[in-house]
A and B are shown apart, each in its own frame.
Chain A
Amino acid sequence: MTTATQLLRTPFHSFHLQHKAKMVDFAGWEMPLSYGSIIEEHRHCRASAGFFDVSHMGRLRFTGRHARRFLDTVCTRQVLGMEPGQCRYGIVCNERGGCLDDIIVYCMDESDFLVVCNASNRAKLLAHFAAVKGDMVFKLDDQTESTAMCALQGPKAMDLIAGMSREIPNLKRYRFTQKNLIVVKLIVSRTGYTGEDGVEVILGAGTAQLAMGMFLKNAGQADSVVKPIGLGARDTLRMEAGMPLYGHEIDEDTDPISAGLGFAVKLDKGQDDERAGRFIGQDALQRIAAAGPARKLVGLVLEGRRSARQGMQVKHGNDVVGRVTSGCLSPTLDKPIAMAFVDAPLAELGTSLSVDLGRESANASVTKMPFVSATRS
């Protein structure tokens, strides 16, 4: 097949082909959707461990005198006071409080930060950052294509890593360490997007294949502890974990408060310590928080076997009260789960709603998220 634009390939590309992945265009990258069965990959990650190529995610390095101040200007979370080795999840907002992207900020030191962003938003963020930089002095280095990134997730992930490092299994959640293994430099963080324990690893593009050997010696074999997991299962895993996906739960017209991401918004930034300054969108988010959001993101469990899809209407009786943002048949629960924005008064747990599936509708109940909690090893 020919495509109009050349797709970017990750340093793990040949690995995907060797493992017979079905490759798809994802945000301009040629990525593995699945290596056979999405449901089997999903279950393997919940039961054992999965390897994910997430090199398509953007990796932007901020260094220099005003790097921290700049990030505090564009990110809802406070960057001031972060310690080296700490990561924080946050949102980059527009003036209206809508989400330009959700990101993770890694603090290397007080003037050196790494931002991991969504592949689909990398160009948009770079333009946004350039537009709001003003006279702040820092260097922004887009390291996306010079580095690789992978994730190892699942109840057996940390046991595997314990065989390679004593330090990494002792990392707390949202902490990272930098490892130098002979010629391979790694940034290893205890983060992920599956709801399972595990790590995400950033390394040089040229050393990715070498590092693979350490993680994935027997990945292709039937009885291997670690198996490669594609974007299909990555999506169903994050849905079960109740984690938002940009373009589904959040976008430029959706604010993080309504989306249940208030924990990632420092509403009073700059109040206790004026060095933090204020962030773009802070005024709007303060107003939304004070008034209370008109709609809220909820989890739904549906009756029957049919999956709700993004854009489907959510009803309360005959009234349209919301819209589905994501949905699938949960491979772990074996029933349909979904996330949806609904009118705030109907966001209470246990509220009976329905989802319009087209020719029929399915009863749905507002359910606590995450739908599935981490498997204990």
Chain B
Amino acid sequence: MSSPSTCRYTDSHEWFHAEGDTVTVGITQFAANELTDITYVGMKPAGTAVSSGASLGEVESVKTTSDIYSALSGTIIEVNAAATSDPSLLNSDPFGKGWLVKLKVSDTSALDRLMDSATYDAKHPVG
């Protein structure tokens, strides 16, 4: 299975998808598989300003708790309420219904420094 080519990827397994100045953030299928069954999604609320490298919130699985990091500076404008109420969406559809937050950003150029899907998948193949 390959990750969407329309997204950019971090080594900490977040994906970022830009549409204009809105960037949607989620975790990759590889990350969801590694975490195992996700049981809790706790993102910071809409309106929170985040800087590049800061935590957007936490995701918990049966096995572990993991921070989700932003690769961009911006403001959270929406949290995926569906994923908060049904965290298993992150396992079943991490690139779709299991998205985490939308960010408003003034500068998306930082995304150019992230991995494209081919590079990410080569590094982290899904078995």
Contact = CB atoms under 8 A, between A and B. Distances in A.
Interface of A: 22, 33-34, 37-39, 232, 236, 305-307, 309, 328-329, 358-359
A306 B42 contact: yes
A306 B40 contact: yes
A38 B64 CA distance: 13
Contact of B36 (A38, A307, A309, A358): A38
Contacts of A232: 36, 62-63
Nearest to B34: A22
Given A22-B33, A37-B91, A309 B39 contact: no
A329 B40 CA distance: 9
A34 B36 contact: yes
B31 to A, nearest CB: 13
Contacts of B42: 306
Contacts of A34: 36
B51 interface: no
Given A236-B62, A307-B65, A37 B39 contact: no
Interface of B: 33, 36-37, 39-40, 42, 58, 60, 62-65, 91, 127
19 contacts: A22-B127, A37-B36, A37-B91, A38-B36, A38-B37, A38-B63, A39-B39, A39-B62, A232-B62, A232-B63, A236-B62, A307-B39, A307-B60, A307-B65, A309-B65, A328-B39, A328-B62, A329-B39, A358-B58
B87 to A, nearest CB: 8
Contacts of B64: 309
B40 A39 contact: no
B62 A38 contact: yes
Sorted nearest first, the 3 A-B pairs with minimum C-beta distance are: A329-B39, A39-B37, A38-B62
A36 to B, nearest CB: 9
Nearest to B44: A359
Contacts of A236: 62
A306 B62 contact: no
A286 B40 CA distance: 44
Nearest to B87: A305
B40 A305 contact: yes
A37 B37 contact: yes
Taking each of A236, A307, A328, which has the highest tally of chain B beta carbons within 10 Å of its own beta carbon? A307
Nearest to A37: B37
A305 B42 CA distance: 10
A306 B33 CA distance: 20
B54 to A, nearest CB: 13
A56 to B, nearest CB: 18
A33 B39 contact: no
A98 to B, nearest CB: 27
A236 B127 CA distance: 25
A211 B127 CA distance: 29
A33 B61 CA distance: 13
Given A22-B127, A38-B36, A358-B65, 4 more contacts: A37-B37, A236-B62, A309-B64, A329-B40
A307 B42 CA distance: 12
Contacts of A37: 36-37, 91
A180 B37 CA distance: 40
B36 A33 contact: yes
Contacts of A38: 36-37, 62-63
A17 to B, nearest CB: 10
Nearest to A309: B65
Contacts of B58: 358-359
Nearest to B84: A305
Contacts of A22: 33, 36, 127
A307 B40 contact: yes
A232 B62 CA distance: 8
Contacts of A39: 37, 39, 62
Nearest to B64: A309
A329 B62 contact: yes
A329 B36 CA distance: 13
Contacts of A358: 58, 65
A328 B60 CA distance: 10
Contacts of B60: 306-307, 329
Nearest to B42: A306
A34 B39 CA distance: 16
A38 B65 CA distance: 16
A310 to B, nearest CB: 11
Contacts of B62: 38-39, 232, 236, 328-329
A358 B58 CA distance: 11
